[in-house]
């Protein structure tokens, strides 16, 4: 199933690397990735769309949420 994961994170080096590393470990291919700085200073928004097993999405998001710089993370089924 295709999911979109929306992540608000502190804009610091290495955060995107750690996020994508979690996907790489699970052999999850990213279909789309968008990252930009928000109006709030020092905060970036990362949006990732990927094909993820429904049984794996909760665990993946919980692991991403352990990354200290992540401020907020949400996901939903992607609409095509």
- Would residue 25 count as lying in a domain? yes
Task: Tell me the residue range of the domain where 22 lies.
Answer: 13-50+62-71
- Would residue 33 count as lying in a domain? yes
Q: 3 with 44: CB under 8 angstroms?
A: no
Q: Cα separation of 54 and 35, whole Å? A: 24
Q: Cα separation of 74 and 80, whole Å? A: 18
- Would residue 5 count as lying in a domain? no
**Residue 6: in which H helix or E strand, if any?**
strand 2-10
What tens digit of pLDDT does each residue of 2-44 get? 999 999 999 999 999 999 999 999 999 999 999 999 999 999 9
- Would residue 21 count as lying in a domain? yes
79 — pLDDT class (breaks 50, 70, 90): confident
Number of domains in the chain: 1
Phi and psi for 58 in degrees, rounded to 5? Answer: -60, -45
């Amino acid at each position: 199933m295709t999911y979109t994961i929306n992540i608000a994170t502190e804009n610091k080096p290495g955060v995107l690397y750690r996020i994508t590393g979690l996907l790489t470990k699970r052999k999850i291919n990213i279909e789309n990735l968008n990252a930009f700085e928000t109006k709030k200073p020092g905060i970036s928004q990362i949006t990732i769309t990927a094909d993820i097993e429904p049984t794996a999405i909760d665990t993946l998001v919980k692991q991403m949420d352990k990354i200290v710089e992540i401020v907020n993370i949400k996901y939903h089924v992607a609409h095509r």
